[in-house]
Amino acid sequence: MNGTESRNNETPEIKAWGWTQVPAVVPLSRRVFRKWLAKHNANHYEEDATLCFMELLTNAIRIESPTGLTETRWMLYEDKLKVEVHDFSPTAPYLSYADEDSERGRGLILVHLLADKWGYDHTTFLHPHGKGYVPGKIVWFELHK
């Protein structure tokens, strides 16, 4: 690279983590995620990224996994942060508009408002006990510098 070329294709810092599917994992994952961002001098993403990550993880841990874990990947590039959360539901995520008394239904709206990009990819995962493939999806968001 001659110094003027874009570094968008660089190899990112990647952290893959499997979280147990219990609500108590949410505060722990928040702390771990923030420490990872700080370790990589990416504190400028902390507030929005943490909120988006917590929303996606909270949704995903409600969906039973054959491994008992919800897998996540955090990828820090020169110019962006991408976070993926895997789940075993083939149902596409959708924006819902909760009434003001509802305790749920606002998470993806927050992700939609805070993230520079977000989406999902349908996929199949190899069953951990050799029982073929299991349908699922990867929900992700990106925050750009």
Closest C-alpha among 139, 29, 142 to residue 77: 142
Report the C-alpha gap between 7 and 126 in whole angstroms.
Answer: 33
Report the C-alpha gap between 20 and 30 in whole angstroms.
Answer: 14
Q: How much is the pLDDT for 122?
A: 95
Domain regions of the chain by residue span: 13-144
Topology of domain 13-144 in CATH is Heat Shock Protein 90 (3.30.565)
Q: How much is the pLDDT for 45?
A: 98
Report the C-alpha gap between 97 and 109 in whole angstroms.
Answer: 8
Report which of residues 57 and 125 the model is more confident about.
57
Report the C-alpha gap between 18 and 68 in whole angstroms.
Answer: 9
pLDDT exceeds cutoff 70 at 3: no
pLDDT exceeds cutoff 60 at 106: yes
* Whole-number percent of the chain with pLDDT over 90: 72
The mean-pLDDT minimum among 12-21, 91-100, 136-145 falls in 91-100
Using CA atoms, how far residue 106 sits from 38, 49, 51, 103, 142, in Å, is 28, 16, 12, 8, 19
pLDDT exceeds cutoff 70 at 141: yes
Other C-beta atoms within 10 Å of 13: how many? 14
pLDDT in tens, 36-72: 999 999 999 999 999 999 999 999 999 999 989 999 9
Q: How much is the pLDDT for 6?
A: 40
pLDDT exceeds cutoff 60 at 8: no
Report the C-alpha gap between 7 and 15 in whole angstroms.
Answer: 20
- DSSP, res 76: E
Take residue 130 and report the two structure tokens written for it.
């050799």
Average pLDDT over residues 8-14: 81
- Confidence grade of residue 91 (pLDDT, cut at 50, 70, 90): very high
Q: How much is the pLDDT for 100?
A: 61
